[in-house]
Structure 1
Amino acid sequence: MSVSSGLCHDDFAAVRAAFDQHLGSGAELGAALCVTVDGDPVVDLWGGYADPARSVPWRADTLVDVFSVTKTMTALCALLLVERGDLDVDQRVAHYWPEFAANGKDAIEVRHLLAHTSGVSGWEKPIELADIYDAEAAAARLATQAPWWEPGTASGYHAINYGHLVGELVRRIDGRSLGRFFAEELAVPLGADFHIGTGPEHADRIATLVPPELPEFDLGALDQDSVLIKTLTSPWLDVAETATPQWRAAEIGGTNGHGNARSVARVQSVIANGGELGGRKFLSPSTIELIFREQADGIDLALLSPLRFGIGYGLPRPQTFPHIPDGRVCWWAGYGGAMVVNDLDRRITFAYTMNRMATGLIGSDRCDSYLRATFEGVRR
């Protein structure tokens, strides 16, 4: 008997089997999985519990903070502006946002923000998490800073501030905030239950996150001037804080989008489906191809892991992430394990969301098992 609820085509029975195994064993607390082919769901599963007490079932419409999967939504907003001729990835950021030129940032290009190579991967201290809830004010602080390394020479993951940087470009060009732009241009037209800035009316649907068990480690022993320390502690992301109404309502386009696997897959399948979905053309092939212009491939200065970035998305690196297929594939993951993968060759989008967070910043063993089963199902 299946532990999960929802749809699963026969070719993907192994995906459901893996999902049910993790739900049944307790490895998953609550989670959702969705796989689309040609924009249509072939897997749409959910199960488990939305709270640690196991008193609230994870429902079809349960939402959860997907952390950095939000970045793919922010990148897609930028690509919409590129498509309309309003944004050029090779133009200087200061062309759209003049204040950003301060402190030696005049030559930084839009593509550097989208690919985590700008040198501005966090805020100068002192800064607290609550200071970033006002997106416009937090972006203004970033505009005054000097880059932490030579822009364009390496990636340094823009862990929390990605959406403040890209979102300010959206606001300067379009006039709408990032959250409103995303809602009106993508979520509502696509019927996707995904939010960058989540109102209190959704509170009873939001799953409680269970923080990962982190090893004892003295951050104070590390070089406090390193890109890693400055990025990951400026500000420090406290998972408990993400349950507050203030965090949820803020438009933090790098890390506080709330959705589920179905809504993540729905929006991101615009990419896998060649730019067209639901009878509407969002992006042309030439705009989508920008994603695959490699911007960095090597040890990321903020995460100290080998990463490969295109414009707006991570690109395959089989030696580092063997379960993400090679080819015309773009992807990204959220803190604790959430993930989205767009495979343009097979016109597939894979999305996974959950509330029991894994220890790694990128992916998890659970997610790997679902990815493996998904792409084995495709090859049948």
Structure 2
Amino acid sequence: MRIRALALPAVLVLAFAVTSAAGGAPNAARFDRPYQGFAPANTVLRAGSPAAAGLNPAPIDAFDKQLAAWVPSIYPGATVLLAHNGVVVDRTATGEAVKYKDATTLLPADQQVPARTDTIYDLASLSKLFTSIVAVQQLEAGKIALDTPVAHYLPEFATNGKGGITIEQLLTHTSGLAPDPVPSLWQGYPDIPSREKAILDAAPQEPAGTAYVYSDLNMLSMQLVLQHVTGKPLDQLVREDVTEPLHMVDTGYNPPASKLGRIAATEYQTSPPRGMVRGSVHDENAWAMGGVAGHAGVFSTVDDLAVLSQAILNGGVYRGHRVLSEHGVQLMEQNFNQKFPDDSHGLGFELDQIWYMGGLSGPNTLGHTGFTGTSLVIDPGSRSFAILLTNRVHPTRNTPSTNGARRAAAEALAQAMTVSAPGGGQSWFSGQGPASTSTLTTGVLHGPENVSFEAFVNTESTDLLTLESSVDGGATWTTVPLTVRGQSAPQTALSGQSVRAWRQVRAHVAGSSNGLLLRWRYTTDPAYEGRGVNVADIRLSTGRTTFTPAGWQLV
């Protein structure tokens, strides 16, 4: 079953009824002209079609079909929300929120619960973002400092050589703490006080600051710091300082029984013997902490997360309710992990992770994933965000990764935005294929040739655009060095996502009495890629030529 709703539910009309400050129908969204700075602070989400937001609807429609096709192979149910420049352009649900009685037995059809656009999901590690936002709030309030050791606030934390671990290292996963408590909190300790002591007593597995180790213990430790410096439990801090100001009415820990009908089920657990988990946090360590933990425990909907995402794009404010200063948001967008280039990280938020951010990935793109199959990608450059919530651990956690679905959501938005050739006109485009090589080949030339062209490249670093030449009719090819305007050294290929702009490229190719062929060659692999590549305004010193495309199309 698939539900698509561009019109938002009546209960949320107040949250979404007002148009953005820009007003009116926008021009085509330009992916190659990223925005600078925050969105206007008074931008408020509204429902609209992709066309109303200046987007091409085809990639979003194709994604919605694929979202439904992934049921049940990747997840029983899913809900997605895509937004661009203040317009919610896609809000779709598919599959079932509750489908199984136990680990193997399907419920009768009349007892299964369809996923809805307002289904409440266990966010899993997206909960870390709420802990991090509270931490940045306390940083701005002067109650904690990034370079201060955790042990300054919690002296017991200094045990087992942890005296030098700082607040910044907890928030950027560079503390060296192990990924999880061993033994697990629910197995090894009888009550919450003993579990909190176990968190404080945990021994690091790496020296602080020497490695990136993604760790739930970082956020469990951060939870204890926040509770100590404020005198309030984490759930109260999140409620009072984040969800209530932003009117995120379906977001919080330990959701009330009155909302059970809208909550997606997760795993059927036998160890611990919890049965079918629904309305209680899936993560066992968070469950052992009473459902309120720094690393997991938050439940939410795509609508609520959309408000949070827009508040971040707005510079920390939504509908006049400020939860962070612009500087606080900048700290979440700033890469503190320059030493670990594959693990870029702001305070709490991951940055530039193409493996789930896809074509929206970039140095300032924020996001996170969750074990239950959730993801959030916020791209300030295009003022867009993609939210995917699933219950992929229902009825067991032994299911395929949702990374392909996560990337596809982001790719749909990236593809829906325009990349326009400099000065107008058409460009050759290649991208979004499986393992492939695409070639754009000239007719026979009689060089030497001075070649110039414009290139827009948004790819994984290993997905390369090259210019090649052949003087034997295409039997063998040689890479041509490229001179990119603004760069001093020649390059053999173009790749990467750090620059969302057209690049002017020049090359010189020697001629041959046998004739000369040139081709633009783009290679991808089955893993992932960015938005793809565009080539435009190809100019040859000997004049015009014809082109033979294989895997390229004029756009």
Which one has the largest radius of gyration?
Answer: 2
- Quote the residue 2:246 is aligned against: 190
Which of 44, 59, 65 pairs up with 2:122? 65
Report the AA paired with residue 77 of structure 2. G
Deviation of 1:261 after TM superposition, in Å, equals 1.9
| Cα deviation digits, residues 240-289 of structure 1 (max 9, x gap) | 67547476651023122211222222223322221121212222222222
Could you tell me which runs of 5 or more consecutive residues in structure 2 were left unpaired when the two chains were aligned: 7-47, 100-106, 420-555
Residue 17 (structure 1) aligned to one of 62, 82, 87: 62
Counterpart of 2:236 in structure 1 is 180
| Greater fraction of residues in strand | 2
Q: Secondary structure at the match of 2:245?
A: helix
- Structure 1 residue 328 displacement after superposition: 1.6
1:297 Cα offset (Å):
5.5
Name the amino acid aligned to 2:319: G
Q: What is the alpha-carbon distance in structure 2 between the residues aligned to residue 117 and residue 348 of structure 1?
A: 29
Higher deviation after alignment, 199-208 or 351-360: 351-360
Quote the residue 1:370 is aligned against. Answer: 409
In the TM superposition, 1:96-175 aligns within 5 A as 96-122=153-179, 125-129=182-186, 137-158=194-215, 160-175=216-231
Indicate conservation of the 8 Å contact 2:357/2:410, yes or no.
Answer: no
The residue aligned with 2:432 is: none
- Give TM-score, length-normalised by structure 1: 0.80
Distance in 2 separating the partners of 1:120 and 1:361: 28
Aligned pairs for 1:31-50 within 5 A: 31-38=78-85, 41-50=88-97
**1:308 deviation in Å?**
2.6
Q: Which runs of 5+ in 1 are unaligned?
A: 212-235, 300-305
1:67, CA displacement in angstroms?
Answer: 1.1
Assess, with a 3 A threshold, how the Cα gap between structure 1 residues 261 and 296 changes in structure 2: closer, same or farther: farther
Deviations 1:301-358 (A, max 9, x none): xxxxx53323211110448964442132111111143111122223323211011348
Total equivalences in the alignment: 348
**Distance between the aligned counterparts of 2:398 and 2:416, measured in 1?**
28
Provide the secondary structure at the position in 2 that maps to 1:184.
helix
Correspondence for 1:293: 335
CA contact (8 A) 2:311 2:317 kept: yes
Distance in 2 separating the partners of 1:121 and 1:203 = 34
- Which of the two has greater helix per residue? 1
State the distance in 2 between where 1:35 and 1:134 align.
41
Residue 309 of structure 1 aligns to a residue whose secondary structure is: coil
Could you say what secondary structure the match of 1:353 adopts? strand
Partner of 1:149: helix, strand, or coil? Answer: coil
2:324 partner amino acid: L
User: Is 1:275 paired with 2:322?
Assistant: no
Q: SS at the partner of 2:113?
A: coil
> Is the 8 Å Cα contact of residues 81 and 90 (structure 2) preserved in structure 1?
yes
Q: Who is 2:265 aligned against?
A: 208
How does the TM-score come out when normalised to structure 2?
0.56
The corresponding residue for 1:353 is 389
- 1:288/1:22 CA distance change after superposition, 3 Å: closer
**Contact map agreement 1:68 1:254 (CA 8 A) in 2:** yes
Q: 1:163: Cα distance to partner?
A: 3.4
Question: Which residue of structure 2 lines up, in the alignment, with residue 332 of structure 1?
Answer: 368
Structure with the bigger RCO (C-alpha within 8 Å, sep 6+) is 1
Say if 1:29 and 1:241 are closer, same or farther in 2 by CA, change over 3 A: closer
Q: Which residue of 1 aligns with 2:377?
A: 341
Identity of aligned residues (%): 22
CA distance 1:91–1:243, shift in 2 (3 Å):
same
* Alignment CA distance shift 1:51-1:361 (3 Å): closer
Write out per-residue CA displacement over residues 118-152 of structure 1, whole angstroms, 9 at most, x where no aligned residue. 12235553335366896664332121233211011
Q: Secondary structure at the match of 2:5?
A: strand
Q: Is residue 26 from structure 1 mapped to residue 71 from structure 2 by the alignment?
A: yes
8 Å CA contact 1:112–1:152 kept in 2: the answer is: yes
1:90 to 144, 147, 152: 147
Q: Aligned to 1:333, what secondary structure does the other structure show? A: strand
